């Protein structure tokens, strides 16, 4: 909606007055410093899956060969764009693909869902090619979808040339980009179920016995709480690994590229992350907003090290009365900041709003939160300006 300059000035003033500081510290400060973390990898990263916060990075933005870690993107693109019940037919190009294989035969048909297990558990390059040709129409068409997804996710140091990860000078990613990609992928239930599976039995059209795919990811058996993700190796990339684990409701994902001792390093990285960056409960659904007649509409947790807990601040941004969102019970939202960088936002309602009665896991509640997050994506030009813009969006979106 277009506004003249005088109208814009008036509503910016409303936004600035509405951005009220409601708390300078939500957690008591502690002076402890986390121990330093070292790995044998050329590049590494550790991410909190839910928040997307990168907890540790070493040469994390350096583009490098990533071998079969590529298949994380292959799998999530196939899940997002394909139909799991579709039967994928194996072409001559897929059968002849070099490297690791699930030994598909020419013309063999397998459901996309089952083939994804062969892709992620056994790292089948034949499966990667067959999946790409089926979902993308051609391998080249599928690679376009992979790069499109990389752009969507903001992966600035990533470029794909194939769906399997065989060496190509123009095929690369970085540890930080892979961490972000993995965090995105693990939020997909199908992907998460596949990569956490230790052994999968799949129908064999040629024999009475079934195919049996055993996961190459040793972390699933050697680390408590491990639930994914993918191994990788070529002669040029050397050993690559992405692993994930969940403890106390927190899921972390670790990435190493070119690491001669990756199993030990991943155990160390995950232990370090859980130990130094546990989830802190910052807001609880239904909690009263201090000094205001509003209640928080969604619980919010964030990974923080001890010395950061005193640096979390909140800012209340109010909606103008009479807007659609206001009439539906929403009164605004609380933005949360760490060292002046926004880390999250939750809606606030009247205490008697029916939205507060919805279960946090109910479909309506999840959709309500998704709608809120979509409508209130913060502007990248700074926290205060972002708050003003969000107020303007709320005022004129409907």
In 189-327, DSSP assigns E strands to 199-202, 211-214, 226-232, 240-247, 250-257, 279-283, 295-296, 300-303, 312-318
**Is 68 annotated as catalytic?**
yes
- Scanning the structure block, which residue is given the tokens 């499966």? 127
Q: Which of 26, 55, 38 is nearest to 305 (CA)?
A: 55
Q: Which of 282, 126, 114, 124 is nearest to 202 (CA)?
A: 114
DSSP 309: G
**Is 57 annotated as catalytic?**
no
In 1-124, DSSP assigns E strands to 20-23, 43-48, 54-58, 87-89, 109-111
**Is 71 annotated as catalytic?**
yes
Measure CA 345 to chain center.
Answer: 17
Q: Around Cβ 249, how many Cβ atoms within 10 Å?
A: 9
Classify each residue of 29-54 as buried b or exposed e, where b means 16 or more C-beta atoms within 10 Å of its C-beta.
eeeeebeebebebbbbbbbbbbbebb
Classify each residue of 254-272 as buried b or exposed e, where b means 16 or more C-beta atoms within 10 Å of its C-beta.
bbbbbbeebbebbbebbbb
Residue of 44, 68, 91, 174 with catalytic role: 68
- Compute the distance between CA of residue 84 and CA of residue 75 in angstroms, rounded to an integer: 11
Residue of 42, 71, 149, 161 with catalytic role: 71
- Compute the distance between CA of residue 37 and CA of residue 57 in angstroms, rounded to an integer: 10
Question: Residue 366: CA atoms inside 13 Å, Cβ hemisphere, count?
Answer: 3
What DSSP line would sit under 249-267, residue for residue? TEEEEEEEES-TTHHHHHH
Residue of 100, 101, 123, 368 with catalytic role: 123
DSSP 69: G
- Scanning the structure block, which residue is given the tokens 């409907």? 398
Q: Both ends of the chain: CA-CA distance in Å? A: 10
The residues assigned a catalytic role are 68, 71, 123
């Amino acid at each position: 909606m277009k506004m003249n300059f005088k109208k814009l000035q008036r509503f910016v003033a409303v936004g600035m007055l509405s951005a009220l500081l409601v708390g300078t510290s939500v957690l008591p400060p502690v002076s402890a410093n986390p121990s330093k973390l070292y790995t044998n990898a050329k590049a590494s990263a550790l991410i909190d899956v839910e928040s997307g916060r990168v907890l540790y990075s070493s040469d994390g933005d350096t583009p490098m060969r990533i071998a079969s870690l590529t298949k994380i993107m292959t799998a999530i693109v196939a899940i997002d764009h394909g139909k799991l019940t579709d039967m994928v037919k194996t072409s001559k190009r897929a059968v002849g693909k070099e490297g690791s294989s699930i030994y598909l035969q020419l013309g063999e048909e397998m459901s996309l869902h089952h083939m994804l297990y062969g892709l992620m558990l056994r790292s089948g390059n034949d499966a990667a090619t067959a999946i790409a040709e089926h979902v993308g129409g051609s391998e080249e068409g599928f690679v376009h979808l992979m790069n499109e997804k990389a752009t969507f996710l903001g992966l600035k140091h990533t470029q794909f040339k194939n769906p399997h990860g065989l060496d190509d000078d123009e095929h690369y990613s970085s540890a930080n980009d892979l961490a972000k990609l993995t965090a995105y992928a693990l939020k997909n239930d199908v992907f998460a179920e596949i990569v956490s599976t230790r052994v999968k039995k799949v129908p064999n059209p040629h024999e009475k016995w079934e195919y049996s795919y055993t996961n190459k990811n040793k972390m699933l058996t050697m680390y408590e709480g491990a639930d994914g993700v993918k191994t990788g190796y070529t002669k040029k990339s050397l050993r690559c690994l992405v692993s994930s684990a969940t403890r106390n409701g927190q899921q972390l994902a670790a990435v190493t590229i070119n690491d001669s001792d990756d199993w030990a390093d991943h155990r160390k990285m995950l232990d370090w992350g859980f130990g130094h960056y546990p989830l802190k409960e910052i807001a609880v659904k239904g909690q009263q907003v201090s000094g205001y007649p509003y209640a928080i509409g969604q619980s919010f947790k964030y990974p923080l090290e001890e010395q950061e807990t005193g640096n979390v601040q909140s800012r209340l941004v109010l909606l103008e009365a009479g807007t659609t969102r206001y009439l539906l019970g929403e009164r605004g939202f609380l933005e949360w900041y760490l060292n002046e960088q926004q880390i999250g936002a939750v809606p606030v309602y009247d205490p008697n709003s029916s939205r507060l009665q919805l279960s946090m896991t109910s479909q309506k509640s999840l959709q309500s939160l998704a709608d809120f997050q979509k409508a209130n994506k913060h502007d990248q030009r700074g926290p205060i300006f972002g708050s003003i813009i969000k107020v303007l969006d709320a005022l004129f979106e409907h």
